[in-house]
Amino acid sequence: MFNFDFYNPTRILFGEDRLGSIDQLVPADAKVLITYGGGSAKKYGTVDKVRNALGDRIVHEFGGIEPNPHYETLVRAAEIVRREQIDFLLAIGGGSVIDGTKFITLAASYDGDALDLLKYGFSPIGLDVIGHTVPFGAVLTLPATGSEMNSGGVISYGQGKYPVFSELAFPKFSILDPTLTYTLPKIQVANGVVDAFVHTTEQYLTYPVEGRIQDRISEGILQTLIEIGETTIAEPENYDARANLVWSATLALNGLICAGVPQDWAAHMIGHELTALYGIDHGQTLAVILPSLLEVRREQKRAKLLQYADRVWRITEGSEDDRINSAIQKTRGFFESLGVKTRLSDYNIGADKIPEIIEQLKTHGMTALSETHDLTLDISQEILERAL
Amino acid sequence: MFNFDFYNPTRILFGEDRLGSIDQLVPADAKVLITYGGGSAKKYGTVDKVRNALGDRIVHEFGGIEPNPHYETLVRAAEIVRREQIDFLLAIGGGSVIDGTKFITLAASYDGDALDLLKYGFSPIGLDVIGHTVPFGAVLTLPATGSEMNSGGVISYGQGKYPVFSELAFPKFSILDPTLTYTLPKIQVANGVVDAFVHTTEQYLTYPVEGRIQDRISEGILQTLIEIGETTIAEPENYDARANLVWSATLALNGLICAGVPQDWAAHMIGHELTALYGIDHGQTLAVILPSLLEVRREQKRAKLLQYADRVWRITEGSEDDRINSAIQKTRGFFESLGVKTRLSDYNIGADKIPEIIEQLKTHGMTALSETHDLTLDISQEILERAL
């Protein structure tokens, strides 16, 4: 097991009817900015319920944070935070709104050009750069990214997606009420299942380092998602299925399963280019890339793929290669069973587009991906070709 | 799944050679009190290493915190904290020292009679009672109780053991270096494995509430402990086995696996009386009580016992009762394989002692134990009789 640090101070309030707690969690004299996305938080009444819980606090609203939140949008919100002297942010939404709100608080508190904050990549932005941020809470409406219980976000700028990490960007609290997610379109729920699944495989399907308990937790998340995936899409108001999706998605990216083990993230990095270039949903890009990536990287990942076949899919018959093939096939089949297509051609991307995807990876410095830093552009190309 | 709150702000530094980080984690101008137990932290040089990491800070020491830390001892330390205006505590030890240090910081910050703090039981002591505490960190030397990453402790007073909980009692940080545990006597490691195992079963072997991911994590902890238990006792310097024990024991009681599911704790409550009356080690008391408790409570726990038999022990043959019997037998066998005896008679406790144990349970109000609050004194008696 590798050495690791684990720190996660976000307070989780999980379950039905938790919005009333906001009154205790937000300082009584706080000036609040509510942030949200395209309007469903407003349409389905969540914004009103949150305003209601905030009582007579002064409340501003900033809607319109888009999927893959844009730098320009967030900087506008940061200006409001400064101008109105906001001292608490409340994000209502999924990963994009929460990621965006993290960036808003960092940008609002940063003295220089906020563009600087996109340069840190996976290196956390420390107290030496930003001394203090406006605290924020989150009300989750889309289970997928885990942003509600971590300190990272992904911000879109130009044709790129930029990771931003900072300990100052942990939500003070997150309210996870599964019933607030009932109104989601099926495809968003399906994408969420895939996203949580691939977050887990990025931290699990690498190489063994005797992180036994981390492996078991990862396998538990994958098994849970497999058990509840189709149900929670078919029966959106099945509370228990949805609750298990919500909590699994949160645990998949709260720092627990990556503690002390290698991490890959190549599927995400390649997938990000597909979103940036063609607007394919994040979850869909992962469903396309992961199966092909596992095929191409079967030697590097052999030991973990065999463990995955055995423990997650209960595949015990056949040669090692048979079992690995079968596990990859089951993975692809699982995504397809959720209604998420797994081929580039399903999204009208042909072989002719591969050069421009590779070019973008090159532009963004994605030339040595994976847990072993040896996934070159040639290998990314092979993965994309297999994904056609 | 039940509604739940989860909050755990303790920073974990896990792995070899982490003591140097203390210099960054403790304020530069802090006046520090190091707390420790019977002397092994001193003997094996950990106190010196910590002092070294603290540089030229003013450092006091308070040794002699005993197993099942006594109220009187801790109150003496609290007086030192006040008198010397200590502003950071550093606990070096296992659960007793860390539990004790939690109580020291609460008692030192409490204006009234510290005895009051024993009256809250499992109800957290809030900010209305104590507004501020002296922060503390921990250096773990004994993997077992999980105290290094939670906000609770058990304090001995007279013939009783009293739980104390407070959000103010989370360690700011805990250093978990498996190599610091290499010098432990085998019996203490074995007790630690049992303790972590039974912490997990207390939160898992109850009744099903569709807490799928919680169940999977619990099963993962149990499987890991079974896999590494004998090895980490036989080969104390096997890093990976010990690292898995340390991290499993921490995760077994950091609030994760109990979030949203029922909890039992009857084995602990009955076990506490055995420790208080006869000085039997905590882990040993659990190894005695758990198998008998599972036999007696097999109807209430039937669904989870079958799941436990299947997923943890891979028992799939035979009738339901056969599988449950077999799982209980395997549990007992596991404890025995670690060298921890599972019968009262192994500790020279005969049937003649049962009335006084029951009397103590009655005195301490332990008349309606378990996840369903229907484990009466009669049932405790039956459990003890089966444990003879």
- Chain A residue at shortest CA distance from B221: A213
My answer on whether A173 and A238 are in the same domain is no
Kindly state whether residue B5 falls inside one of the protein's structural domains.
no
Nearest to B9 among A9, A13, A227 (CB): A9
Q: How does pLDDT run across A245-291, given as a tens digit for each residue?
A: 999 999 999 999 999 999 999 999 999 999 999 999 999 999 999 99
A5 has a chain B CB within 8 A of its CB: yes
My answer on whether A228 and A265 are in the same domain is yes
My answer on whether A264 and A372 are in the same domain is yes
Per the CB < 8 Å rule, is B221 touching A220?
no
Nearest to A227 among B1, B212, B251 (CB): B212
Residues of chain B with Cβ-Cβ distance to A6 below 8 Å are 11-12, 14
- Chain A residue at shortest CA distance from B11: A7
My answer on whether A204 and A167 are in the same domain is no
Side-chain half-sphere CA neighbours of A284 within 13 A:
20
C-alpha closest to that of A268 among A205, A198, A362: A198
- Whether the CB-CB separation of A87 and A57 falls below 8 Å is answered with no
The count of other CB atoms within 10 Å of the CB of residue B55 is 11
CA–CA min distance B381, chain A (Å) = 36
For residue B217, pLDDT beyond 90:
yes
Nearest to A15 among B3, B220, B247 (CB): B3
DSSP-assigned states of every residue in A335-370: HHHTT---SGGGGT--GGGHHHHHHHHHHTT-SSBT
My answer on whether A306 and A218 are in the same domain is yes
End-to-end CA gap in chain A: 37
Parallel, antiparallel or unpaired: strands A59-62 and A32-35: parallel
Kindly state whether residue B6 falls inside one of the protein's structural domains.
no
Kindly state whether residue B26 falls inside one of the protein's structural domains.
yes
CA distance A99 to B387: 54
- Chain B residue at shortest CA distance from A211: B244
Furthest-apart CA atoms within chain A: distance in Å: 66
My answer on whether B176 and B190 are in the same domain is no
The residue-averaged pLDDT of A77-94 equals: 98
Nearest to A14 among B12, B248, B260 (CB): B260
Residue finishing a domain among B146, B180, B214: B180
Structural domain span for residue A77: 11-180
- Whether the CB-CB separation of A175 and A22 falls below 8 Å is answered with yes
Kindly state whether residue B91 falls inside one of the protein's structural domains.
yes
- Report residue B72 as tokens: 């009187």
- Whether the CB-CB separation of B270 and B361 falls below 8 Å is answered with yes
Q: How does pLDDT run across B252-298, given as a tens digit for each residue?
A: 999 999 999 999 999 999 999 999 999 999 999 999 999 999 999 99
A235 has a chain B CB within 8 A of its CB: no
Nearest to B15 among A4, A9, A14 (CB): A4
Per the CB < 8 Å rule, is A220 touching B219?
yes
CA–CA min distance A130, chain B (Å) = 18
My answer on whether B170 and B296 are in the same domain is no
pLDDT at A161: 85
Residues of chain B with Cβ-Cβ distance to A4 below 8 Å are 12, 14-15
For residue B376, pLDDT beyond 90:
yes
Residue A174's SS3 state is strand
Q: H or E element: which one contains B59?
A: strand B59-62
B20 has a chain A CB within 8 A of its CB: no
Per the CB < 8 Å rule, is A243 touching B16?
no
Kindly state whether residue B1 falls inside one of the protein's structural domains.
no
Nearest to B213 among A1, A11, A248 (CB): A248
My answer on whether A79 and A118 are in the same domain is yes
Residue B32's SS3 state is strand
CA distance A95 to A107: 18
CA distance B346 to A269: 59
Per the CB < 8 Å rule, is A210 touching B243?
yes
CA–CA min distance B115, chain A (Å) = 29
Interface size, chain A vs chain B, as Cβ–Cβ contacts under 8 Å? 127
CA distance B256 to B245: 17
DSSP-assigned states of every residue in B64-86: -PPSS-BHHHHHHHHHHHHHTT-
Q: How does pLDDT run across B173-191, given as a tens digit for each residue?
A: 999 999 999 999 999 999 9
- Chain B residue at shortest CA distance from A16: B3
Confidence of residue A322 (pLDDT cuts 50, 70, 90): very high
CA–CA min distance B362, chain A (Å) = 35
Per the CB < 8 Å rule, is B251 touching A212?
no
My answer on whether A165 and A193 are in the same domain is no
Parallel, antiparallel or unpaired: strands A160-165 and A152-157: antiparallel
Q: How does pLDDT run across A149-182, given as a tens digit for each residue?
A: 999 999 999 988 899 999 999 999 999 999 999 9
Confidence of residue A131 (pLDDT cuts 50, 70, 90): confident
CA distance A73 to A79: 10
CA–CA min distance B43, chain A (Å) = 26
- Chain B residue at shortest CA distance from A18: B3
pLDDT at A159: 82
My answer on whether B166 and B277 are in the same domain is no
Per the CB < 8 Å rule, is B213 touching A221?
yes
Kindly state whether residue A3 falls inside one of the protein's structural domains.
no
The alpha carbon of B165 is separated from its chain's Cα centroid by a whole number of angstroms, namely 13
My answer on whether B124 and B139 are in the same domain is yes
E strands, chain A, are: 4-6, 11-14, 32-35, 59-62, 88-93, 136-140, 152-157, 160-165, 173-176
A248 has a chain B CB within 8 A of its CB: yes
pLDDT at B122: 87
C-alpha closest to that of B255 among A203, A230, A14, A201: A14
Per the CB < 8 Å rule, is B11 touching A5?
yes
Write down the number of H helices and E strands in chain A: 14, 9
Nearest to B210 among A244, A248, A251 (CB): A244
Per the CB < 8 Å rule, is B247 touching A213?
yes
Kindly state whether residue B4 falls inside one of the protein's structural domains.
no
CA distance B214 to B200: 11
My answer on whether A149 and A206 are in the same domain is no
CATH at B350: 1.20.1090.10
Least confident residue range of A342-346, B35-39, B202-206: B35-39
Q: How does pLDDT run across B153-174, given as a tens digit for each residue?
A: 999 999 888 999 999 999 999 9
B298 has a chain A CB within 8 A of its CB: no
Contacts of A314 (CB under 8 A, 6+ apart): none
Residue finishing a domain among A180, A205, A220: A180
CA–CA min distance B248, chain A (Å) = 7
A244 has a chain B CB within 8 A of its CB: yes
- Chain B residue at shortest CA distance from A5: B13
Q: How does pLDDT run across A95-124, given as a tens digit for each residue?
A: 999 999 999 999 999 999 999 999 998 899
pLDDT at B127: 87
Q: Which of residues 172-231 of A touch B (CB under 8 A)?
A: 210-213, 215-217, 219-221, 223-224, 227-228
CATH at B49: 3.40.50.1970
pLDDT at B94: 96
- Chain A residue at shortest CA distance from B1: A240
Kindly state whether residue B97 falls inside one of the protein's structural domains.
yes
For residue A71, pLDDT beyond 90:
yes
- Report residue B95 as tokens: 């659960």
Residue finishing a domain among A180, A198, A218: A180
pLDDT at A160: 83
pLDDT at B378: 98
Confidence of residue B343 (pLDDT cuts 50, 70, 90): very high
DSSP-assigned states of every residue in B236-259: TT-HHHHHHHHHHHHHTTSSTTTT
Q: How does pLDDT run across B1-17, given as a tens digit for each residue?
A: 999 999 999 999 999 99
Per the CB < 8 Å rule, is B213 touching A247?
yes
Q: How many domains does chain A have?
A: 2
The string over A363-388, giving b where at least 16 C-beta atoms fall within 10 Å of a residue's C-beta and e elsewhere, is ebebeebbbeeebebebbbbbbebbe
Confidence of residue B131 (pLDDT cuts 50, 70, 90): confident
The residue-averaged pLDDT of B222-232 equals: 98
